[in-house]
Amino acid sequence: MRPIEFKAMKTSICTYGFIPVRAQAAEQAEMVTQLLFGEVFTILQSEEKWSYITSHYDQYEGWIDSKLVEILPDTLVKKWEEADKWIVPGPYIKVISESDNSTLFIPGGSAIFFNCQDRNCFQIGHREYYLSGSHNIDKPNKNIDEISKAFMNSPYLWGGRSFYGIDCSGFVQVVFKIAGHQLPRDASQQIELGQNVSFVEEAQAGDLAFFDNAEGNITHVGLCLGKGQIIHASGRVRIDKLDHQGIFDDDHKTYSHKLRIIKRIIEEAKRKL
């Protein structure tokens, strides 16, 4: 629950591959989500070791370690936020810091504003970075099938949004972000979007399938691939069979999730395998 009587403070940019966002101001507290590199956030409250923040991308709130907050001029943050940015394709890229020639791995879904004179270079504060390797920054990948499969075998992690560890709704959100579409963070929010798909047989690549428990609560979401297949984060990012009952786990020869509904979120997401 959000603490009361907060006053908005400074904004900043995530300058790490990701920053864990926790439910409480403690290292052992539950991680509820992650900030990805290049995402902007507002500091709502600062304590000695912890800062309570809200992400500008999906309005998620929580506590982050204050040591991970980069102190940046408001004008720089505003310009970064308003600029057209390249969304890093999955699962990750490598960048080099000019100052000390160190390496930083930036996960898919991160946002980069190329604000230097050199084509593949960007700067945040006093740090200048350049891309390592060959990347097509002019033609971002919009194919949700390809984007989602790049995360195959990433381990499941509650609150995760990167290839290091990712949860079911974080996986869907990041895949759509790379493809150029913004979704809310949680499955219970994502289900409110789009149009119903009446039958599993009509599901197309890019549709979202939602699953519930015995109490009727939405507990899982996955990305339809068409032809009776679904890719989702459960133990790891994997592809399973999908039918009118739910997800069938071939490894254990049983249904792992009970289907509630399939939603068509965006027409552009429809792809053929």
Q: State the Cα–Cα distance between residues 231 and 221, nearest whole angstrom.
A: 9
| pTM confidence score | 0.93
The whole-number pLDDT of residue 140 equals: 79
Q: State the Cα–Cα distance between residues 170 and 186, nearest whole angstrom.
A: 7
3 cis-preceded (ω within 30 degrees of 0): no
pLDDT digits (tens, 9 = 90+) for 118-129: 888 999 998 999
Q: How far is CA 27 from CA 20, 24, 49, 77, 93, in A?
A: 10, 8, 10, 27, 27
Residue 51, pLDDT above cutoff 50:
yes
pLDDT digits (tens, 9 = 90+) for 18-30: 999 999 999 999 9
Beta pairing class for 61-65 and 86-87: unpaired
Segment 61-90 shows an average pLDDT of 96
Segment 156-184 shows an average pLDDT of 97
Q: In terms of Cα–Cα distance, which of 191, 196, 165, 190 is closest to 177?
A: 190
The whole-number pLDDT of residue 268 equals: 40
Look at the alpha carbons of 64, 66, 67, 72 in this order and tell me if their dihedral is positive or negative: positive
**What confidence category does residue 2 fall into, taking pLDDT thresholds of 50, 70 and 90?**
very low
Residue 86: what are its φ and ψ, rounded to 5°?
-85, 125
Domain extent listing, the chain: 11-74, 86-132, 144-269
Q: Residue 8 CB: number of other CB atoms within 10 A?
A: 10
**What confidence category does residue 1 fall into, taking pLDDT thresholds of 50, 70 and 90?**
very low
Q: State the Cα–Cα distance between residues 85 and 181, nearest whole angstrom.
A: 13
pLDDT digits (tens, 9 = 90+) for 234-248: 999 999 999 999 999
The whole-number pLDDT of residue 135 equals: 86
The whole-number pLDDT of residue 245 equals: 97
User: How much of the chain exceeds pLDDT 70, in percent?
Assistant: 94
CATH superfamily of 11-74: SH3 Domains (2.30.30.40)
The whole-number pLDDT of residue 61 equals: 98
User: Exposure of 245 by Cβ count < 10 A (0-12 exposed, 13-18 middle, 19+ buried)?
Assistant: exposed
Segment 72-80 shows an average pLDDT of 96
The whole-number pLDDT of residue 190 equals: 98
Residue 267, pLDDT above cutoff 80:
no
Query: 62 — alpha (psi -120 to 50), left (phi > 0) or beta?
Result: left
Could you tell me if 167 and 176 are in contact, meaning their C-beta atoms sit under 8 angstroms apart? no
Look at the alpha carbons of 115, 120, 124, 128 in this order and tell me if their dihedral is positive or negative: negative
- Maximum CA pair distance of the chain? 57
Indicate which residues carry an active-site annotation: 168, 220, 232
Residue 153: what are its φ and ψ, rounded to 5°?
75, 5
The whole-number pLDDT of residue 222 equals: 98
Residue 34, pLDDT above cutoff 80:
yes
Which token pair is 71?
């102190």
Q: Do you know the residue count of the chain?
A: 273
CATH code linked to domain 144-269:
3.90.1720.10
pLDDT digits (tens, 9 = 90+) for 174-229: 999 999 999 999 999 999 999 999 999 999 999 999 999 999 999 999 999 999 99
User: How much of the chain exceeds pLDDT 90, in percent?
Assistant: 84
Could you tell me if 109 and 150 are in contact, meaning their C-beta atoms sit under 8 angstroms apart? no
The whole-number pLDDT of residue 134 equals: 84
Residue 83, pLDDT above cutoff 60:
yes
**What confidence category does residue 162 fall into, taking pLDDT thresholds of 50, 70 and 90?**
very high
Please name the residues in contact with 62: beta carbons below 8 A apart, sequence gap of 6 or more. Answer: 21, 22, 23, 32, 33, 52, 53
